[in-house]
Amino acid sequence: MTKTVGAYAVETGKRMREVRVARGLSLKQVEQASLGQFDADSLAMWERGQRGMPVAKLAEYAQWLGVDIRLLLPPGEDGAAWRQSVAAKEADRALRSVSATIASLTPGEANDLLVSALTERQAS
């Protein structure tokens, strides 16, 4: 782990802890309330910056806490890179969801959806 990544993990961990504490939650309470989705020991290591939390897991944690993931990300160039990574992952997930939905449509339904979207776009 480079020094930059380590410092970034420490800052992200500080923000994670601040939000958790502001919610009045202990590490054990998070583990119990999340039904083990967020293990207290792992959270403690992430909050201390001893390990970097994977972006997908950080997004899940932010959603579980009910906050925008950007609240957990430090500002600056590294933060921008992480935010871009998160946005790309969210866009990819949305695209896969839309693709699956479109794949389940009949040709007529797909055509109606496309016409509707084009009509909306031209109206705005």
CA-CA distance, 53 to 50, in Å (whole number)?
9
- CA 24, 62, 65, 76 torsion: positive or negative? positive
What domains are there in the chain, each with its CATH number?
A: 3-123 (1.10.260.40)
pLDDT tens digit sequence for 15-30: 999 999 999 999 999 9
pTM, two decimals, is: 0.58
Question: Looking at the predicted structure, is the pLDDT value of residue 79 above 60?
Answer: no
C-alpha distance from residue 6 to each of 29, 30, 48, 75 (Å): 27, 24, 10, 15
Q: How confident is the model at residue 61 (pLDDT cuts 50, 70, 90)?
A: very high
- Give the model's pLDDT for residue 86: 62
